[in-house]
Amino acid sequence: MRTAMRNRTGLYRSRHGVICGVCRGVAEYLDFSVFWTRMIAVALFIFTGIWPIVGIYLLAMLVMKPEPLVPLETDDEAEFYNSFAHSRSMARQRLKHIYDKIDRRVQRMEHAVTAREYDWDQRLNRNL
């Protein structure tokens, strides 16, 4: 299940990683061993100097979105998660728009049911 979700939705920081989940997220995305991914990162850290790799790691930590808590099953869920991860205010506006549409539908139904033309007593008495 995680493999299908990962291939469909992209690269994420793992929530089960040691240091912010960057190496584990890359390893899972590439379907590679987490141990060897970490060993490559440590080797690069030692042989190229401290700051270039630390800078790249920190940049990856900031750019990569965290892995979703619940597996994404549909494209709509993936789209919403991606919009939320990029812009929470945009996701909040989407939810507000959806809520407003539902609220208007409920108001129309309430108006139809409580209208004078919709007299339940007459309809129930005719059927008896």
Q: Specify the 3-state DSSP secondary structure of 66.
A: strand
Q: What is the mean pLDDT of residues 111-124?
A: 69
At residue 104, the pLDDT reads 94
In the chain, pLDDT over 70 holds for what percent of residues? 77
pLDDT at 100 over 90: yes
Q: Which helix (H) or strand (E) holds 36?
A: helix 34-48
Q: Where are the domains of the chain?
A: 1-73, 87-128
Q: Whole-angstrom distance between the N-terminal and C-terminal Cα of the chain?
A: 56
User: What pLDDT is attached to residue 105?
Assistant: 94
User: What's the number of CA atoms in the CB half-sphere (13 Å) around residue 69?
Assistant: 1
pLDDT in tens, 58-83: 888 888 877 766 677 787 877 777 77
Q: Which residues contact 28 (CB under 8 A, 6 or more apart)?
A: 2, 6, 14, 34
